[in-house]
Amino acid sequence: MHRRTAIALGLTATTAPFVDTARASAHGTDEDEHGRRRHRLAVIAHRGAWGYRPEHTVAAYQLAFRFGADVVKPDVVVTKDGVLVDRNSPDLTVATDVSKHPEFAARKTTKMLDGVATTGWFVEDFTLAEIKTLRATERMPDLRPGNTAFDGRFPILTIQEVIDLARAESRRRGRRVGIAPDVKRPTYYRAMGVPLEELFVRLLRRNGLTDEDADVAVLPQSFEPSCLQRLNRMVDLPLIQLLDAAGKPYDFVVAGDPRGYRDLVTPEGLRWVRRYADVVSVNKDLIIPRDATAHLTTPTTLVGDAHRTGLKVHAWRFCNENTFLPADFRIGTDPKVHGDFIAEYRRFYAQGIDGVVSDFPDAALTARAAAHL
């Protein structure tokens, strides 16, 4: 299927990295110092402005939009009564206050989560009404102590509520913004008889978000290729294949496919991904690896290889804190201190990437402006 590009969805130049180059020329591209046409690099806010507010909360998304993020990235899981909610994992133990709810103590259980025994409370064991009694908390309190001031203040969002936030922001800006929903662990849900992709598409259709004149751009993504292949048959939207630096997609594990993520970033692997996806969103170590001392080494050919197949490239995940930065850009030894994060963006922007996924979208936007991208 030939998917609609971002221009067909009505996006402007700020999200042009999602588009078909041939169709973008009238939509705000510019030229670099060599006279080559280029599109503006997209800034995707990872779970909202997570660097400043607990992830996946209304406050995190509103702040990301206030900064000017082009796209926000929610995560998609499903409740007992079939409602899609915004959590990074089916396990509610981390980043919510579920453990402080005695009425749910008996729900604690152990499940195999993508092959790993995990003990906690799971979204699919709660109705939406029960989920709505929980409150979000900061996942990394030692690293982001300022975010803990917001613990307990915000409820868990539904994906419908995230769509509504993006729709309101599109109206405020007078142009479309995007959401890039990460469809989480579809193989895990399918084994329980829950067709997560179908539920997701049903929600999009109810909101008119598969139509050419949609007021919010939707850019579905997943780590599991089979999920995107299903979505490719159901919707006409740009699709994003997420790729980590190690391991393999869980659907490959279940299917006995010997390939891992690194096999999918070879030229052959990228050509295979291009059959169903428009963008690869990759762990940034696949673009510029780190050595044993955490210093950056020589860039790989991934960006160029992907572009030659017709795929755009996004890089993740960018954070300001020393603990996440390459050693080249750390300042001091305190893991929570903000290092020279602008220098890291500059290094990766120079590789020709088309989008960046950041916990600190304001920093990504500042670096983009400085680089005239």
Q: Cα–Cα distance between 24 and 6 in angstroms, integer?
A: 9
pTM of the model: 0.91
Could you please report the per-residue DSSP string of 281-326?
Answer: EEEGGGTS-B-TTS-B----SHHHHHHHHT-EEEEEEE-SBGGGS-
Contact 138, 151 (CB under 8 A): yes
Contact 163, 98 (CB under 8 A): no
**Looking at this protein, which amino acid is placed at residue 176?**
R
- In the three-class reduction of DSSP (H, G, I as helix; E, B as strand; rest coil), residue 31 is classed as strand
pLDDT of the chain, 373 residues: tens digit per residue: 444 444 333 344 444 544 443 223 222 334 444 333 346 899 999 999 999 999 999 999 999 999 999 999 999 999 999 999 999 999 999 999 999 999 999 999 999 999 999 999 999 999 999 999 999 999 999 999 999 999 999 999 999 999 999 999 999 999 999 999 999 999 999 999 999 999 999 999 999 998 767 899 999 999 999 999 999 999 999 999 999 999 999 999 999 999 999 999 999 999 999 999 999 999 999 999 999 999 999 999 999 999 999 999 999 999 999 999 999 999 999 999 999 999 999 999 999 999 999 999 999 999 999 999 8
Q: In the CATH hierarchy, which fold is given to the domain comprising 13-53+61-74+157-370?
A: TIM Barrel (3.20.20)
What are the boundaries of each domain within the chain? 13-53+61-74+157-370
Contact 180, 222 (CB under 8 A): no
Run of H or E residues at 226: helix 225-234
Q: What is the pLDDT of residue 39?
A: 61
The arrangement of strands across the sheet holding 279-283 comes to 84-86, 75-78, 182-183, 221-222, 240-243, 279-283, 312-318, 355-358, 42-46, 71-73, 178-179, 217-218
Residue owning tokens 């969805």: 9
First to last CA, the chain: 31
